[in-house]
Amino acid sequence: MLRALHDVSSAVNHLLPDWRAHPEESRFAATKRSYRWLRGHYPHLASSWAVTIANETSATLASWDKLLRRARRHDPEKFERMRSHLPRRKNLKASLHRGLYRLDGKVLDITLSPERHVRIDLSGTSHPLFWRYLKESGGEFGLAVTDRKLVFNFRISNPQPVRKEVVGVDLNMPSADFATSDGKIGSVDLKEISRVQGAMERKRRSVQAHLPTDLKAQRRVLRRNRGRERNCVRPLLHRAANDLLKAMGDRTIIFEDLSETTEQILKERRRGDCAQRRRLSAWTHGQLQGIVSYKARSAVVRVNARGTSSTCPRCGGSLTHPTWRRSDCAHCQGTWHRDRGAAIVILDRGRAALRGAALPPSARNALLDAATWRPDLETGPGPADERSKGDDANFGLV
Ligand SMILES: [Zn+2]
């Protein structure tokens, strides 16, 4: 299997300059042209591997072009550096052609050549979603293989239903706060994630301090650390997503649409601590939304994120923040817990998007009551205070 993956990556690197030189050619024509060469050089692999290699080449070029477009918009220097170069496939990965694998009972069979098969027993797979998705997708799935893992892609046909009750979720760094259309407010703790990311942040700073002149080495170490950090944080995100889903029950979920926020952060191009922090929490929140969305048994809706924590949940007036967590409305004189108020605003936007009936007055009153500011809600300092202390409990996305 590893040998086949090495073959894929070297074949991709061989094809890239040639494919790049013929941008007018369709993917199909390019595959057809390269097929003979591939069959000649990799006769020990089954013919569908040639198709797999062509697909990987095309995917590598496509993702490189996407990076180029992004660099052109946000980072002209990087764009100048990149434009004259070609991508290079370094990691070992192949999305297999459908003809190369099948599930034989609980044994996954991958064809290397007609005489050589890799058989992997999946009966020990304990991931509950794996068997559920396999059943719901009717045994059809896409398969990508890397040197470390198998990635299954299921396509589930039945869409997640829209429920009668709705829940708005505001993701912050020490917690995820939610407000439901039947008048409940709750939150799920994300402190452990902040803690891990804080520790990693300190490591990042120490790397930058210790290797201040060797930018290349610095980048290499930082990249390795980023991988480790993501591996540490991912299981925590899964746990947080499970807690959140359990707490929210079967309700249609409304999240903030983070794509604009991410664009905004990329545009800033600042390398300072604050930009770093914002990038990090945008990544974390995006991941958490993604995990919740695929685990949810109800529909997930995304609404405009602009100004959710600076809009009054009662009158829609604009809010000021005398402390990180407290929001004051000059218009209706309300004082709110910042994150709970934001969750109510998100809930309202989602209900408008879903064209649902207005919130019953009793539920609205219960929400506003629960979101009203009380000094005991000031649990720990916000990011602004945090930065000066250099501690790691909070990463807020303003
Ligand atoms: Zn107000």
C-alpha 58 to ligand 1 mean position (Å): 53
> How far is the centre of ligand 1, averaged over its atoms, from the C-alpha of 327 (Å)?
10
pLDDT band at 373 (very low <50, low <70, confident <90, very high): very high
Alpha-carbon gap, residue 48 to 112, rounded angstroms: 9
Residue 344 CA to ligand 1 center (angstroms) comes to 13
Rounded to the nearest angstrom, the distance between the alpha carbon of 350 and the centre of ligand 1 is 19
Q: How far is the CA of 254 from the centre of ligand 1 (A)?
A: 22
What per-residue confidence (pLDDT) applies to 383?
A: 47
Cα 381 to ligand 1 centre (Å): 24
> Which has more pLDDT, 156 or 4?
4
pLDDT at 95 over 90: yes
Q: Ligand 1 centroid vs 365 CA: distance in angstroms?
A: 14
**Which residue type, as a one-letter code, is found at position 274?**
C
pLDDT of residue 228: 86
Please tell me the least confidently modeled range out of 18-32, 166-180, 366-380: 366-380
Q: How many residues does the chain have?
A: 398
Ligand 1 centre distance from Cα of residue 309 (Å): 12
In 3-state terms, what secondary structure has residue 74?
helix
Using DSSP bridges, classify how beta strands 141-146 and 150-154 pair: parallel, antiparallel or unpaired. Answer: antiparallel
Q: How many angstroms separate the CA atoms of 207 and 221, rounded?
A: 8
Q: Which pLDDT value is given to residue 216?
A: 82
Q: What is the pLDDT of residue 39?
A: 92
Give helix then strand counts, H and E, for the chain. Answer: 12, 14
pTM, full prediction: 0.66
Distance of CA 93 to CAs 5, 20, 121, Å?
Answer: 6, 20, 20
Evaluate the CA torsion angle 260, 266, 272, 277 in order and state its sign: positive
Going from the Cα of 174 to the center of ligand 1, the distance in angstroms, rounded, reads 25
Structure confidence at residue 174 (pLDDT): 83
CA distances (Å), origin 80, targets 72, 85, 217, 370: 8, 9, 22, 53
Residues of the chain with pLDDT > 90, as a percent, come to 51
Going from the Cα of 183 to the center of ligand 1, the distance in angstroms, rounded, reads 19
Residue 230 C-alpha to ligand 1 middle, in angstroms? 40
Q: Which residues pair with 175 in a beta bridge?
A: 189
Q: Residue 387's pLDDT band (boundaries 50, 70, 90)?
A: very low
How remote is the CA of residue 334 from the centroid of ligand 1, in Å? 5
Per-residue confidence (pLDDT) for residue 391, from 0 to 100: 33
Residue 348 has pLDDT above 60, yes or no: yes
DSSP codes joined into one string, 350-376: HHHHTTPPPPPHHHHHHHHHHHB--GG
How many angstroms does the Cα of residue 373 sit away from the middle of ligand 1?
Answer: 13
Ranking 28-42, 56-70, 123-137 by mean pLDDT, the lowest is 123-137
Using the mean position of ligand 1's atoms as its centre, give its distance from the Cα of residue 318 in Å: 7
Identify the CA nearest to 170 among candidates 193, 190, 194, 199: 190
- List, for residues 250-262, the tens digit of each pLDDT value: 999 999 988 766 6
pLDDT one-digit tens code per residue, 196-243: 888 888 888 888 888 777 788 888 888 888 888 888 899 999 999 999
Measured in Å, residue 255 CA sits from the centre of ligand 1 at 22
Q: Are 327 and 319 within 8 A, CB to CB?
A: yes
% residues pLDDT > 70 (the chain): 89
**What is the pLDDT at residue 52?**
94
Decide if pLDDT at 390 tops 60: no
- Of residues 379 and 325, more confidence is placed in 325
**Average pLDDT along the chain:** 86
Cα(311) to centroid(ligand 1), Å:
8
Give 248's pLDDT tier (boundaries 50, 70, 90). Answer: very high
The reported pLDDT for the residue numbered 354 is 87
pLDDT at 389 (0 to 100):
34
Distance 321 CA to ligand 1 centre (A): 13
| Mean pLDDT to the nearest integer, 90-107 | 92
| Residue 395, pLDDT score | 32
pLDDT of residue 270: 55
User: Range with the lowest mean pLDDT among 251-260, 267-276, 277-286?
Assistant: 267-276
Q: How far is the CA of 336 from the centre of ligand 1 (A)?
A: 9
For 284-333, write each residue's pLDDT tens digit: 899 999 999 988 989 999 998 888 889 999 999 999 999 888 999 999 99
Q: Give the start-to-end residue ranges of the domains of the chain.
A: 2-94, 98-154, 166-389
- The answer to whether residue 26 scores a pLDDT higher than 50 is yes
